Structure 1
Amino acid sequence: MKNLFANVRGDITGGITAGVVALPLALALGVASGVGPMAGMYGAIAVGFFAALFGGTPSQISGPTGPMVVVLAGLFASLSGDVELIFTAVLLAGLFQILFGFLGIGNYIRLVPYPVISGFMSGIGAIIIILQIGRLLGHEPPGGTLGALGYIPTALADINFATLALGIGTLVIAYKWPPSLGKYVPGALAALIIGTIVSLFITNVPILGEIPTGLPSLHLPTFESSTLLLVLEAAFILAILGAIDSLLTSLVADNMTRTRHDSSKELIGQGIGNTVAGLIGGIAGAGATMRTVVNIRSGGKERLSGMVHALVLLAVVLGLSPLASAIPHAVLAGILVKVGLDIVDWSYLKRAHSGPRWDFALMLLVLGLTVFVDLITAVGVGVVLAALAYVRQIAQLQIEELKKIPDTLNDPKENALLEKAQGKVSIFSFGGPLSFGAAADLGHHVREWVKPGSRVLILDFSRVPTMDVSASMAVETVTSDAKSSGRQLMVCGASDKIKEVLGNINASSAEILTYPTLLEALESAVSIIEDSGKKSQKHDGSSTLSHA
């Protein structure tokens, strides 16, 4: 809490701006969930305040989000509109998230690669702009990105030029607001105030309109045996979606503020917020990308901004709604178009052609899925594809390293033994962790590259810190091949971990000779070859005497 008042002026202006932007979203998402507009407001207040107070991303603004509302709407239909059970699911989702935080599950979200984050950010920017086009033209488009896109021709056929001028004017003010004045009043907030004042002199401009008010009541959790499984399942899905949504937004906030969030602390904060939301009759929330970006762009940096955002919404609930009700949709649309343009990762798009094509293709794929499907699918597909590409890349490097069968070795003693073996020893050296990606073709490549006439195969694990079950099974295949072709398999340089995996998984481990170093393995190999040669000579001598 030591940084709570480190950026008071910026946090207050950022929080106020984010609060005003969050207002129509909270109302709309509350309605979309089926529980009502005030549930959206209470959820935005509870999650917004407590996630900011206890969370691990200081600049993050939390509240109701699209993915969460989709789950709540489905639950509302399944429970025939029983709001008490819905609030119970929200509360349980919060408790799940607190548990996730203590278990450190959030650390895995940090592994999302940059092209996926870039595509996600640009996709969010595109969605924000698409959703505002209809409002700039004086209409209220249907929900969803596809609905808003499909509605554009209709809006273009009946343009409200007053709202269009108001929206464009707001956008211009937000962009061109002097930096010297921006220290005192951020451009977005100035555009909001000026645009709203101007709209008072214009007729036929859609405004937010009447906003309901009132204090929340306490909603204690209720459980029914017939619906318990359904409520628990919905709560778990809400917790997972909320965790992903929040931590992805945290990554965006990190990217914008050049800071690093605490993922475990963030999940605990989000969990506390959702638990309180369930108790006061609010819908579930998560870190909201658009509102977070509005906050940061308006000067918000510390957790005070998220708390101010929640207090602005609380003030509206407690009776300041007449002031907020006069804000035109076109003014908010103008501000949000700027936000959308700012989110798009222009810097990467400009340089993408000079980087790896696969990364750029992945970024475009994630962008498209974010816009036309949903955020969770986009990130899930992006992470899986990025992981598979990485495994393939590492596997190729491991296989290339394996192909380098040495004719000479750096150590003089090892080199002398290798020469003494007269080409009857093949050494395969592995570089780095031996993964399942390389294991798939390991046996095939060893068969293909082994020296003709080799009597001994040596697998050098001295540079392998870890190996998985797939790699161990591949070694078993190599062992079987060696046995069937009359060759002895040796393993050298394996750590205790590697030996344990080989011993536990590999059924042929008893037939593998293991040595601490390559030198000892070569000494043994030369000894085996010499013994074999002597036996062969003795056999030839016996055959000659018998023939005589």
Structure 2
Amino acid sequence: MLFSSTRQDWFGNIRGDLLAGIVVALALIPEAIAFSIIAGVDPKVGLYASFCMAVVIAFVGGRPGMISAATGAMALLMVTLVRDHGLEYLLAATLLTGVLQILAGYLKLGSLMRFVSRSVVTGFVNALAILIFMAQLPELTNVTWHVYAMTAGGLAIIYLFPYITKAIPSPLVCILVLTGLALWLDLDIRTVSDMGDMPDTLPIFLWPDVPLNFETLWIILPYSVALTIVGLLESLMTATIVDDLTDTKSDKNRECKGQGVANISVGLLGGMASCAMIGQSIINIKSGGRGRLSSLAAGVFLLLMVVFLSDWLGLIPMAALVAVMIMVSIGTFSWDSVHNLKKHPLSTNIVMLATVVVVVATHNLAYGVFVGVLLASLFFANKVGKFLHITSELDQPSKTRTYNVIGQVFFSSSDQFTASFDFKEDIDRIVIDLNRAHFWDITAVGALDKAVIKFRREGIEVDIIGLNEASATIVDRFGVHDKPEEIGKIMGGH
């Protein structure tokens, strides 16, 4: 079974994976250079990182068909570290990031993805689509009409060529045709070579030249923690999206470990911390890539092209790559979410829109996901808190009132629980029936204590029946209503 799965991952789609790898490699080049510039390092740092990340993650990652490389989200976090301490400290931070990500994998933090709601994932995807499009705008401002014509022509090729044949990925055709056209017409437009110098040697093993002491650790630790969180968030979110696109499952905890191993390799080869890329992953899937071979091919082709074909690559017009990235932006955006604004509950729409706004405003995926998860949790708690129903019936001869509690008692519904009791009623005995209730936290236990103690102050006998095993455990551990010494302290306080 394992052999069959491994064979499928590597050799189940050879032609599609190799062609997709070429397209992804071409799309990685300008982005890796751009992200290096953002981080304040030499372009080769981003290119080496992208090569190494794509190759290593192909073997150790948990999501076949997903592309990992240098990203803008990670680059933004490195700016101050590079500015204040230099490249060597960035390499050290990259190594520590890898260690922390491996630790996260062994702690099974990848499983926490189940707490991220669908509306947060949708907001995350839409925000990334907007950021990808916004990143192309500098290439489309203050330029000649030739650039607009080339970009429009590139989009036409991308969307219309599949009607002719799907044997060759249309983004690859777009790049080849527009490059040939620019050379034939001798157009004076911006090309890949204008973005920075390409490396002309293979990467070599490097150990960061930093002092191995606690001072260095305290310098790099905050950056490494931030890089770990953002890197895993983007990687796990991207894995979830690729799961949906391919209707397959992935191992999120293995992906955490894989990202860590790959980042350690990146740091030792002179690259910057990297993670999964939603844009390139979607290019890969749309171009026919499905297996681990596509990621390996992307990394190998990237290195071969930047080292041995850099002169040719430098001739590719940026307009061609802008067209590919606009296609990615359009394909990434969840257009159904716009139509669903009328259908979905207000709380779901608020979570999705808040995630989009925060990510776009801050360019930080972690902030957007945090806000989205927080809002989703609050809305959920508020909704579940309303599913608490308490009825009562009075047995007049025995002057006993029985309260039937149905639903979930926790911090959101504890006030409603307490407010449902009449503490001034002229009766002798109270029965609180909890057969169909569940107590979740110490706030709920505190509400039960409060109700029991109030009744007893009025001279009313209280019986609690029907506690399920889980609720009984937390009530026995944290409750005080059946502990005379604790009640004495409370009563004394009054």
Q: Tell whether the structures are fold-level matches, with TM greater than 0.5.
A: yes
Structure 1 pair 159–47 and aligned structure 2 pair: CA distance change class (3 A): closer
Residue pairs, 1:372-451, within 5 angstroms: 372-374=361-363, 375-398=365-388, 401-402=389-390, 404-405=391-392, 407=393, 419=395, 424-432=400-408, 434-447=409-422
2:305 match: 316
- Residue among 471, 489, 493 paired with 1:498: 471
Are 1:166 and 2:150 matched, yes or no?
yes
Are 1:178 and 2:182 matched, yes or no?
no
User: Which whole-Å deviations, capped at 9, do the CAs of 1:361-416 have from their partners, x for residues lacking one?
Assistant: 32222222222223221111011000000000000112xx22x33x4xxxxxxxxx
What SS is found at the alignment partner of 1:227?
helix
- Residue among 165, 170, 175 paired with 1:192: 175
Aligned length in residues = 472
Structure 1 pair 362–498 and aligned structure 2 pair: CA distance change class (3 A): closer
Matched to 2:165, the amino acid is: L
Q: Is the 8 A contact 1:93 1:238 kept in 2?
A: yes
Matched to 2:91, the amino acid is: F
User: Which whole-Å deviations, capped at 9, do the CAs of 1:186-215 have from their partners, x for residues lacking one?
Assistant: 111111211211111232111001522212
Task: State the distance in 1 between where 2:475 and 2:318 align.
Answer: 66
2:45 match: 39
Structure 1 pair 330–219 and aligned structure 2 pair: CA distance change class (3 A): same
2:433 match: 460
Q: Is the 8 A contact 1:87 1:219 kept in 2?
A: no
Task: State the distance in 2 between where 1:16 and 1:370 align.
Answer: 30
User: Which whole-Å deviations, capped at 9, do the CAs of 1:51-98 have from their partners, x for residues lacking one?
Assistant: 22211111211011122212222212232x1x3332121111101111
Shift of 1:227: 2.4
2:66 match: 60
Gaps spanning 5+ residues in structure 2: where?
A: 1-5, 485-494
Task: State the distance in 1 between where 2:29 and 2:445 align.
Answer: 57
Structure 1 pair 422–488 and aligned structure 2 pair: CA distance change class (3 A): closer
Task: State the distance in 2 between where 1:504 and 1:208 align.
Answer: 66
Structure 1 pair 363–497 and aligned structure 2 pair: CA distance change class (3 A): closer
Are 1:218 and 2:191 matched, yes or no?
no
Are 1:131 and 2:107 matched, yes or no?
no
What SS is found at the alignment partner of 1:84?
helix
Q: State the TM-score, normalized to the length of structure 2.
A: 0.90
Shift of 1:24: 0.9
Shift of 1:465: 5.2
2:80 match: 74
Gaps spanning 5+ residues in structure 1: where?
A: 138-154, 408-417, 512-548
Task: State the distance in 2 between where 1:317 and 1:499 align.
Answer: 65
Matched to 1:97, the amino acid is: Q
Task: State the distance in 1 between where 2:367 and 2:397 align.
Answer: 57
Structure 1 pair 266–160 and aligned structure 2 pair: CA distance change class (3 A): same
Task: State the distance in 1 between where 2:304 and 2:43 align.
Answer: 16
1:521 match: none
Q: Is the 8 A contact 2:382 2:412 kept in 1?
A: yes
Residue pairs, 1:149-548, within 5 angstroms: 155=141, 158-179=142-163, 181-182=165-166, 184-202=167-185, 203-209=187-193, 210-221=197-208, 222=210, 223-374=212-363, 375-398=365-388, 401-402=389-390, 404-405=391-392, 407=393, 419=395, 424-432=400-408, 434-447=409-422, 452-464=425-437, 467-510=440-483
Task: State the distance in 2 between where 1:290 and 1:421 align.
Answer: 73
Q: Is the 8 A contact 2:306 2:313 kept in 1?
A: no
Task: State the distance in 1 between where 2:429 and 2:56 align.
Answer: 66
Structure 1 pair 463–428 and aligned structure 2 pair: CA distance change class (3 A): closer
Structure 1 pair 195–96 and aligned structure 2 pair: CA distance change class (3 A): same
The structure with the larger Rg is 1
Shift of 1:300: 1.1
Are 1:12 and 2:18 matched, yes or no?
yes
Shift of 1:161: 0.7
Structure 1 pair 39–506 and aligned structure 2 pair: CA distance change class (3 A): same
Matched to 2:458, the amino acid is: S
Matched to 1:391, the amino acid is: A
Are 1:113 and 2:147 matched, yes or no?
no
Matched to 1:208, the amino acid is: V
Shift of 1:331: 0.7
What SS is found at the alignment partner of 2:432?
strand
- Structure 1 residues 167-176 or 103-112, which shifts more? 103-112
Task: State the distance in 2 between where 1:463 and 1:445 align.
Answer: 16
User: Which whole-Å deviations, capped at 9, do the CAs of 1:215-237 have from their partners, x for residues lacking one?
Assistant: 22222254234322112232222
Structure 1 pair 70–466 and aligned structure 2 pair: CA distance change class (3 A): same
Task: State the distance in 1 between where 2:410 and 2:91 align.
Answer: 45
Task: State the distance in 2 between where 1:370 and 1:233 align.
Answer: 21
Q: Is the 8 A contact 1:366 1:378 kept in 2?
A: yes
What SS is found at the alignment partner of 1:457?
strand
What SS is found at the alignment partner of 1:430?
strand
Structure 1 pair 423–305 and aligned structure 2 pair: CA distance change class (3 A): farther
Task: State the distance in 2 between where 1:334 and 1:341 align.
Answer: 11
Task: State the distance in 2 between where 1:64 and 1:478 align.
Answer: 58
Q: Is the 8 A contact 1:84 1:219 kept in 2?
A: no
Q: Is the 8 A contact 2:81 2:223 kept in 1?
A: yes
Structure 1 pair 440–8 and aligned structure 2 pair: CA distance change class (3 A): farther
Matched to 1:173, the amino acid is: I
Structure 1 pair 314–492 and aligned structure 2 pair: CA distance change class (3 A): same
Q: Is the 8 A contact 2:64 2:290 kept in 1?
A: yes
User: Which whole-Å deviations, capped at 9, do the CAs of 1:498-540 have from their partners, x for residues lacking one?
Assistant: 22321221222237xxxxxxxxxxxxxxxxxxxxxxxxxxxxx
What SS is found at the alignment partner of 1:205?
coil
Are 1:87 and 2:91 matched, yes or no?
yes
- Structure 1 residues 214-223 or 22-31, which shifts more? 214-223
Task: State the distance in 1 between where 2:162 and 2:73 align.
Answer: 37
Structure 1 pair 451–11 and aligned structure 2 pair: CA distance change class (3 A): farther
Q: Is the 8 A contact 1:39 1:283 kept in 2?
A: yes
Percent of aligned positions that are identical: 26
Shift of 1:435: 2.2
Task: State the distance in 1 between where 2:273 and 2:103 align.
Answer: 16
